[in-house]
């Protein structure tokens, strides 16, 4: 991870620039690079990040976190929180109920 200080932040647009501790060029950072942080960044925050190139060949920060700021647990939906998961569970329950009814009706 690379360490730097958030030099500028445009809250209304969700991006800013990090000044790397090694003195290199400022690095673009988008709010999406800070997934799971418990608060939005502010100018002066110490940011740890990795660097990648965007689709135009420019460098940007990815997989970033703010020093001293809690990382919230992953909010990705679990299987049962997806539409497909709910449908599959419902179909399984219908199949179980049908099997129980069939067994009770058998001579």
pLDDT (0 to 100) of residue 1: 92
Identify the band that residue 87 occupies on the pLDDT scale cut at 50, 70 and 90.
Answer: confident
Evaluate if residue 3 carries a pLDDT over 80.
yes
Evaluate if residue 44 carries a pLDDT over 70.
yes
38 against 45, higher pLDDT: 45
In order of 66, 67, 87, 98, 99, the CA distances from 46 in angstroms are 6, 5, 45, 59, 60
DSSP H or E stretch at residue 35: none
């Amino acid at each position: 991870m690379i360490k730097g200080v958030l030099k500028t932040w445009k809250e209304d647009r969700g991006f800013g620039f990090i000044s790397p501790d090694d003195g290199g060029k400022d690095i673009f950072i988008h709010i999406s690079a800070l997934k799971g942080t418990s608060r939005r960044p502010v100018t002066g925050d110490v940011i740890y990040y990795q660097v990648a190139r965007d689709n135009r060949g420019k460098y940007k920060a990815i997989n970033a976190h703010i020093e001293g700021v809690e990382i919230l647990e992953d909010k990705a939906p679990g299987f049962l929180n997806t539409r497909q998961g709910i449908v599959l569970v419902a179909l399984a329950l219908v199949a179980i109920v049908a099997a129980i009814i069939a067994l009770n009706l058998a001579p």
